[in-house]
Structure 1
Amino acid sequence: MRDLLTTASDTIEADFAALQAAIAASPVLSSSDEPDATVYWSNQPLALLNVIVDAHIAPEVAAARAQEILAPFFERGLPFQWVTTPRTTSPALEAALAQAGLAAREYPAMFVALGQPIDPRTPEDVFIDVAWPDGVEPVSRVILEDLGHPAVPEEGSALGVLDTLDPADNQFFVARSMRTGDVLGASTMHTRGSSAMLANVSITAAARGRGVGRALTATMMNRAAATGCQSATLITNSRAYPTYVDLGFRTQFTCVAWAWDPRS
């Protein structure tokens, strides 16, 4: 049972740290055993696969330690991001990241208490299903295309990282057309005890504006509640923010992704 004194912000941070640790453990990614941060990278020019996160660095050593962690990422020359939350940042660290040339991008971190099932308002010609472990490829493809990376994951490629996550605490959802069977959207859900982090809600270009994203999110919320979860968390962007507010999510803090991209 979750500690009753745990705040919504604490829950988001713990969910996010657990999800990032699960991704870092994927055999298709490389990682380093840092004592104070979760660090993983790939050979792909995608910042979401080259990440520093959950770093707990004392302010007095932030400048020097940040340089140590950043150096290998600069040497690889691929886009990457250092993600901070209230418990994993400080003015000293933020100054070090800014001085290193990383640009800050802010994202709302949101929480909702789960209870009675809610109407997902799924469009009449759409059905949403859970992808079995051997059927995750459409999820990966839609998510990557939504990020502007159209490559189809190859076996053993870092682009197929979702396929390697443990199905015991990771579920993948697919929205399809009832007429054609075409994939219209996809999303992922990572559970940690009595909380679920919803992520990667992605919609194909042809299906945007039809409520598929809302339907996917509500379906995940209902599934999480039905399996005993008491809360759901997510980190979003301004485009999807109104949808999550409509579903009851409320912002608890701002998550900051400090990004570096040699192409910009």
Structure 2
Amino acid sequence: MRHVLTTPQDTVEGDFSTLQRRLSRSAVLQRLDAPDATAFWAPLPLVAVNVIADAHIPDAQAAERVTELIAPFVERGHPFQWITTPSTTTPTLESTLAQAGLRAHEYPAMHASLRNPVDPCTPHDVFIDIVWPDQVAPVTTAIFNNFGHAEDLADEHLDILETLDPETNHYFLARSLLNGMTLGAGTMHARGDSVMLANITVLPPARGRGLERALAATMMNRAASTGSNTATIVANHATYATYLELGFRTQFDVVTWVWKPHR
């Protein structure tokens, strides 16, 4: 059981850092063996899979460690992101990242209690279900297609999700009942009695029908039915209102510091 003094902010940060560590151990990603940060990358020009996160760096070491940690990413020449949360940032670190050429983007990190079932309001011609561990490919394809780099992705780099432990990482697929077409997807990652919802994707032909809400609510209900008490998510400004309707509340802003190669 989680300690009674744990705050919603602690829960969001714990869920987020745990997810980043799990991703870093995927067999299809490379990772940096760093004692003070989680860092991983793929040979793809995609920020989502070139990441530095959960870095705990004293101010006195900020200039040196930032240079050391970003050097292999800059050398590869692909866009990457350094993700910070309240416990992993300071004004000194932020200044150092800015001086290194990274640019900040803020996203609401949100928390919800899972008490009563939520009506997903799923459209009548849509079916959402959890995916078996050996059938994750449509989920991964939907998520990566949404990133806009499908043409750059080799098959061997599409199975990141398949390498995660199916006991604590679950995948959901929204399909059309009319023709079976994939409409959207999402992932859910359990840590103790909390779950983090991530990668909620609605493909362009299905947008504007409430599928973002349907996917998130379906995952929340599934989590509650299997014993989870809380859910967390990192939203964006387009989806923020939807998550407010589902009971999420902002705890802090995740700041992603993005580096892109000079053109």
Q: TM-score range by the shorter chain?
A: over 0.9
Partners of 2:103 and 2:257 within 8 A in 1: yes
Q: CA deviation at 1:67?
A: 0.6
Partners of 2:107 and 2:255 within 8 A in 1: yes
Partners of 1:131 and 1:44 lie apart in 2 by 26
Partners of 2:11 and 2:24 lie apart in 1 by 20
Deviations 1:200-249 (A, max 9, x none): 00001000000111000000000111111110000010011110000000
Q: For 1:1-264, list aligned pairs within 5 A.
A: 1-151=1-151, 154-157=154-157, 159-262=158-261
Partners of 2:126 and 2:139 lie apart in 1 by 16
Partners of 2:151 and 2:170 lie apart in 1 by 22
Partners of 2:152 and 2:66 lie apart in 1 by 34
Partners of 1:135 and 1:151 lie apart in 2 by 22
- Structure 1 runs not aligned, ≥5 long: none
DSSP 3-state at the match of 2:127:
strand
Q: CA deviation at 1:154?
A: 4.5
TM-align CA RMSD:
1.1
Deviations 1:160-184 (A, max 9, x none): 2111111110000000000100000
Matching residue's letter, 1:229: S
Partners of 2:127 and 2:175 within 8 A in 1: yes
Partners of 1:44 and 1:78 within 8 A in 2: yes
Moved more, 94-103 or 160-169: 160-169
Matching residue's letter, 2:127: F
Partners of 1:152 and 1:188 lie apart in 2 by 22
Shift in alpha-carbon separation, 1:41–1:152, aligned structure 2, 3 A:
closer
- Structure 2 runs not aligned, ≥5 long: none
TM-score (norm 2): 0.98
Partners of 2:104 and 2:153 lie apart in 1 by 29
Deviations 1:44-77 (A, max 9, x none): 0001101000000001111111111111111111
Moved more, 104-113 or 141-150: 141-150
Partners of 1:133 and 1:167 within 8 A in 2: yes
Partners of 1:216 and 1:104 lie apart in 2 by 29
DSSP 3-state at the match of 2:159:
helix
Partners of 2:118 and 2:39 lie apart in 1 by 37
The number of aligned residues is 263
Matching residue's letter, 1:173: F
Partners of 1:141 and 1:152 within 8 A in 2: no
TM-score (norm 1): 0.97
DSSP 3-state at the match of 1:143:
helix
Partners of 1:202 and 1:232 lie apart in 2 by 18
**Structure 1 runs, 4 residues or longer, greater than 6 Å off:** none
DSSP 3-state at the match of 1:172:
strand
Deviations 1:119-164 (A, max 9, x none): 111000001011111111111111111111224865432x321111
Partners of 2:44 and 2:152 within 8 A in 1: no
Identity between Structure 1 and Structure 2 (%) = 55
Partners of 1:139 and 1:186 within 8 A in 2: yes
DSSP 3-state at the match of 2:227:
coil
Q: CA deviation at 1:41?
A: 0.7
